[in-house]
Chains A and B, each alone.
Chain A
Amino acid sequence: MSELITNFTFITVLLGVSILGISSGILGVFALLRDQSLLGDAISHAMLPGIACAFLLTHSKNPLILLGGGAIAGCIGALLIPYITRHTVIKKDAALGMVLAVFFGIGLMLMTCIQKKSIANQAILNKFLFGDASTLLRSDVYLMAGLAAIILFLVWLFWKELLLTTFDPLFAKTSGFNVQRIEQLLIGLLICAIAIGLQTVGVVLMSSMIVAPAAAARQWTSSLRLMAKLSAFFGVCAAVSGCIVSSLFNRIPTGPAVVIALSIIVLFSLLGAPHRGIVWNRVRT
């Protein structure tokens, strides 16, 4: 155990995953309360064609450039969902699923283009798809920390607007707030959080990183401020325990370990939380 604390690689991975836990934990609160829990899942899948495009155009392995491309594609995908639901009879879930799957399909096509050109560089894309926390570099962690700082600052700055549009969008609108603009801000922030997470846990597990901490925190409190803090705390707890488990036991990948730790926290919260928890309600009735 003491060996771990002084291990440079372990500290790098731990820092990276904890940063992810904090930023996705805080944003997850808004996603959950706005009933947009799976938006993060759709965006993370939709980022694939952007990443592949950026790689095809620049041949760069720089995560900043690749994630930048991914962010553009994710943005397009995220804005298409409300566009489809507003103009047709298609429901939100179907629009979300379509964006997720079709963008991912386009990403797959572009990936095969890359595979034909260069075999060696294909690994970099696999890293974004499935995530591999053990290959995180110090430079990656600095990038993640920078993105997380932007997220925290913007959430702090627009706290009032986010709170108002989450709980009473109609009142926010009549009070002169631009509700749509705030929604776009939230999508931008989600994209930042997903960019942090892609290299660490990958596309599939990103959904849990966003939803689970917030879902657990929701059971313990009804105050938004406390919920955001708790959610970030749960995110970090899961990150730390996941990292420790994956380095103590050989061959357990970090991402899945973190997700399982998160799920245990959610299960415990669903069962044991006062007022909302299952056990509490059983005992009271």
Chain B
Amino acid sequence: MNSITLYILLIASLAAFACAIPGTFLVLRGVSLMSDAISHAILPGIVLMFFLVHQLDSPLLIFGAALAGVATVVCTEMIIYTRCLRKDAAIGIVFPLFFSVGVILISQFARNVHLDTDMVLLGELAFAPFNCVIVDGVNYGPIALWLMGVIVVLNLSFVFLFYKELKLITFDYEYARVIGYRPLAVYYGLMFIASITTVGAFDAVGAIVVVALMITPAATARLVSARLLPVLIMSCLTGVVSALSGYAFAQWADVSIAGAIAFMSGLLFSIAFLLDRTLPYGLK
């Protein structure tokens, strides 16, 4: 195994691990499609930040993208709050609008830059190891690896610090509000974490596979357990297994790594689903 393969495996595993953490809470809370919305809506954030800094590999782009992700959540929640539309409808209107704004901005002002919708939607893991952090001529490894590492630490510390609060707003939002836990603040914190994770991971695996890594491992884990901590751990493990087996499958069949990771996560869910259906007492 050469260092390129090792880097790809590490980046993919870290991305899967990072996605599974907010993904679990999104799935349990019943708002998993917010990850779909965020992953599309970050496009205008990236483009606008690019106009400010004129650099494609600046960390500020990620900050801009995360802000756009949070803006999507805020807009969606505002529409739901008016009671004029339900959650799904609000999501389905807001993220295409953000995406459209991004596409138009690119087509108007950034024609000559390597910044296109393909890149955001599909991603390419195979190129990630070649974009390295080089300080004073010393190579410190791929940017994507550092980025995903930081995001994993961030996600883990967020869950560690706010575990009680997250648990409460996930299962009994109203109770959390009544006893003064500020559930909205925790919810937006979670969404900010989800945005940052989406942004960090989309560069490597593409926006739509991020959705697969957020939702599918958590759903698989949910079939196995009904307790929060086991679901959280199982979901991280399942995510990493999907990433590793997806890479192996992609190498074997010579296909897109990102696609194979999504496929593997689906396959793991199918296996869990079939076991749950056929075993006499289910998986739990």
Contact B85 A218 (CB under 8 A): yes
B27 within 8 A of A: yes
Considering the complex, which residues of chain B in the window 178-232 have a beta carbon less than 8 Å from any beta carbon of chain A? 206, 208-209, 211-212, 214-216, 218-219, 222-223, 226
Chain A residue numbers with a CB within 8 Å of B214 are: 97
Contact B256 A112 (CB under 8 A): yes
Q: List 25 A-B contacts (CB under 8 A).
A: A37-B86, A38-B92, A41-B92, A87-B277, A89-B223, A93-B30, A93-B31, A94-B218, A97-B33, A97-B35, A100-B211, A101-B36, A101-B215, A102-B262, A105-B262, A109-B256, A109-B263, A112-B256, A207-B96, A208-B93, A211-B92, A253-B103, A260-B100, A263-B96, A266-B93
A106 to B255 CA separation, bound complex (whole angstroms):
10
Contact B36 A215 (CB under 8 A): no
CB distance from B108 to the nearest CB of A (A): 6
Residue of B nearest to A36 (CB): B88
Residue of B nearest to A95 (CB): B219
Question: Other CB < 8 Å A-B pairs besides A105-B261, A256-B103, 6 of them?
Answer: A41-B36, A93-B31, A94-B218, A104-B212, A218-B84, A259-B99
Contact B89 A98 (CB under 8 A): no
Q: Within the complex, which residue of B79, B121, B260, B269 is in contact with A105, where a contact is CB–CB below 8 Å? A: B260
Chain A residue numbers with a CB within 8 Å of B222 are: 89-90, 94
| Main SS at interface, chain B | helix
- Are A102 and B30 CB-contacts (below 8 A) given A207-B92, A215-B89, A260-B104? no
Contact B89 A32 (CB under 8 A): yes
CB distance from B120 to the nearest CB of A (A): 10
Q: Which residues of A contact B (CB under 8 A)?
A: 32, 35-38, 40-41, 45, 84, 87-91, 93-98, 100-102, 104-113, 116, 126, 129-130, 204-205, 207-208, 210-212, 214-215, 218-219, 251-253, 255-257, 259-260, 263, 266, 270, 276-278
Interface centre among A32, A41, A109, A112 (most CB of B within 10 A): A109
Q: Within the complex, which residue of B36, B250, B256, B260 is in contact with A111, where a contact is CB–CB below 8 Å? A: B256
Residue of B nearest to A102 (CB): B266
B122 within 8 A of A: yes
